[in-house]
Structure 1
Amino acid sequence: MAAPIVRGTAAWKYFGDFRDGLLAGQVLVLQVAHPVVAAGVRDHSDYTSDPWTRLMRTGASLSIYVYGGAAGARVEAGRLRELHRSFTGSMDGRRYSALNPAAYAWVHATLVKVPVDAQRFFGRPLSSSELEEYYAQMCDVGRMLGVRERDLPPDWAAFERYYDEMVAGFAGNPTIDQLFETIRTVDKPVRWLPDSWWRLHGRTQMFLLRATLPPALRERLGLQWTLREHRRFWRFASAVRILATPIPAGLRTAHMRWIGKLNVWFRAHPKAYQRLIDGHGHGPGSGA
């Protein structure tokens, strides 16, 4: 059992760091590289038609586990498992379930890895003691989510071996292709955003995705990566590191902590939550 996730502990400091958002494209690709996850997204996700609502729901849900307290995390975990029970279908002539244990564990693993990669690219790599504490805390989160004990490697070194072995077995699939197309062509979230800015956003997302994917997988997906782009990325990463690292952890995670607490409040006040849904179509954390 890990130390509780409270102010100053590793998961509290790193899981909601705003730099994690720079790896949003990378983690989505890694998730849907898993065949079962790809099939579930293909059959049950609305991310191609309404990616912004889905992104907000996912971020709101994740924030509860680390910043919403143990009781809030247990309620959210139960809600998500119940929601995903209905996500079933056919893949290569066989039935699949979104609660397939290996696929379910892999999605959790990608979320565990993001903050560590974000600090490696854009901050200061976690120390050995921080990695130990962070991983133990995220294993507790995995247990709350229903990830099987045998699917949680015992320590960070074993987790990295598991992660690398999984990535080594992945290749391209139509869901990844659709994700790339969505990133390039998705409509603006608000009309007032200039078209030139939005086109730059799409190019930046694809650039960061190509920069941060494991190199062997990037090559298998047919994504080009040049020495010039590599240098450009490390200039960008250095600038982010210089600007963001001095900011206190409490400020770097403030947005995720606020969202987590707000969603716990909504769970305790279902009438207010229902009014929000009726007024806007979706509430925070209404899906994942």
Structure 2
Amino acid sequence: MARAIVRGTAAWKYFGDFRDALLAGQVLVLQVAHPVVAAGVRDHSDYTSDPWTRLMRTGASLSIYVYGGVAGARVEAARLRSLHRSFTGFLDGQRYSALDPAAYAWVHATLVKVPVDAQRFFGRPLSGGELDEYYAQMCDVGRLLGVRERDLPPDWASFERYYDSMVAGFAGNPTIDQLFETIRTVPKPVRWLPDSWWRWHARIQMFLLRATLPPGLRTRLGLQWTLRDQRRFIRFAAVVRVLATPVPAGLRTAHMRWIGKLNVWLRAHPKVYQRLVGSKTS
């Protein structure tokens, strides 16, 4: 059992850091690169037709795991497992379930990795002690979510080997292609946002996605990456690092902590929650 996730601990400082959002495209690609996850998204997700509501629901759920307290995380985990129990279908002639243990563990693994990658790219890499504490805390979160003990590598080094071996087996699929198309064509979240500004959205998202994906998978997906791109990304990352690193951790994570507490309250008042996010709550 790891230290509780409280102010000053590794998961508290890094899981909700606003720089994690820069890897949103990367983590989505890595998740749907798993065949079972891809099939579940293909058959049951509404992200292509209503991406902004889907994004808000996902952010609300994530915030509860780390910043909503143990009780809040347990309630949210039970809700998600109940919801996903009905997400079934067929993949290559075989029946699949969204609660397939290996796929379920992989989704959790991608979320564990994002804050570590965000700090590596845009901040200061976690120290060995921080990595140990962070990983132990996220394993506890995984157990609350129902990830099997044997699907949680015992330490960070083992986790990295597992993660790299999974990525090495992935390639393109139609769900990834649809994700790229959605990034390129998604409508503005609000009407007042100038079209000229919004046109940069897809370019920036695809650039960050190409920059932060594991190089081998990037190549297998046919995404080009040049030395000029690399130099641009290095400059971009340096600017983010200079601007964000001096900001206290409490401010870097304030939005996610606030959302986590708010959503614990909303889950306790389901009628209010349903009015805000609609009938689908994944």
Query: What is the TM-score with the length of structure 2 in the denominator?
Result: 0.98
| Distance in 2 (alpha carbons) for counterparts of 1:34 and 1:258 | 32
- Confirm or deny that 1:228 pairs with 2:228: yes
Residue matched to 1:158 = 158
Q: Hey, what's the Cα distance between the residues in 2 that align with 1:179 and 1:281?
A: 22
CA contact (8 A) 2:266 2:272 kept: no
Unaligned runs of 5+ in 1: none
Provide the aligned C-alpha RMSD in A.
1.0
TM-score (norm 1): 0.96
Question: What is the distance in 1 between the residues matched to 2:273 and 2:151?
Answer: 37
Aligned-pair identity in percent equals 84
Q: Is the 8 A contact 1:3 1:133 kept in 2?
A: yes
Distance of 2:20 and 2:281 partners within structure 1:
21
- Measured in 2, the distance between the counterparts of 1:241 and 1:90 equals 44
SS in 1 for 2:90: strand
**Which amino acid in structure 2 is aligned with residue 282 of structure 1?**
G
**Once the 2 structures are TM-superposed, how far is the Cα of residue 266 of structure 1 from its aligned partner?**
1.6
- Aligned twin of 1:168: 168
Cα pair distance change 1:35/1:276, threshold 3 Å: closer
* 1:139-165 deviations in Å (ceiling 9; x for gaps): 000000000000000000000000000
- Give the conservation status (yes or no) of the 8 Å contact 2:12–2:67: yes
Cα distance in 2 for partners of 1:151, 1:276 equals 33
Give the letter for the 1:275 counterpart.
V
Q: How far, CA to CA, are the matches of 1:158 and 1:170 in structure 2?
A: 19
For residues 109 and 276 of structure 1, what CA distance do their matches in structure 2 show? 28
Selected match of 1:275 from 272, 275, 281:
272
State the distance in 1 between where 2:16 and 2:7 align.
12
Report runs of 4+ in structure 1 exceeding 3 Å deviation: none
Contact 2:53–2:277 (CA<8 Å) still a contact in 1? no
Whole-Å Cα distance in 2 between the matches of residues 151 and 55 of structure 1?
27
Displacement after TM superposition at 1:265 (Å): 1.1
1:71 maps to amino acid: A
Within 1, Cα distance between the matches of 2:156 and 2:265? 33
Q: 1:260 aligned to 2:260?
A: yes
Q: Could you say if the C-alpha distance between residues 281 and 61 of structure 1 is closer, same or farther in structure 2, counting changes exceeding 3 Å?
A: closer
- Letter aligned with residue 210 of structure 2: R
- Write out aligned runs for 1:176-187 (5 A): 176-187=176-187
Deviation per residue, 1:8-58 (Å, 9 max, x gap): 000000000000000000000000000000000000000000011001100
**2:196 & 2:172 partners in 1: Cα distance?**
30
Question: 2:72 & 2:122 partners in 1: Cα distance?
Answer: 30
CA distance in 1: counterparts of 2:16 and 2:277, whole angstroms: 26
Q: Helix, strand or coil: the match of 1:118?
A: helix
Q: Deviations over 1:163-194 (max 9, x none)?
A: 00000000000000000000000111111111
Give the conservation status (yes or no) of the 8 Å contact 1:61–1:287: no
Structure 2 unaligned regions, length at least 5: none
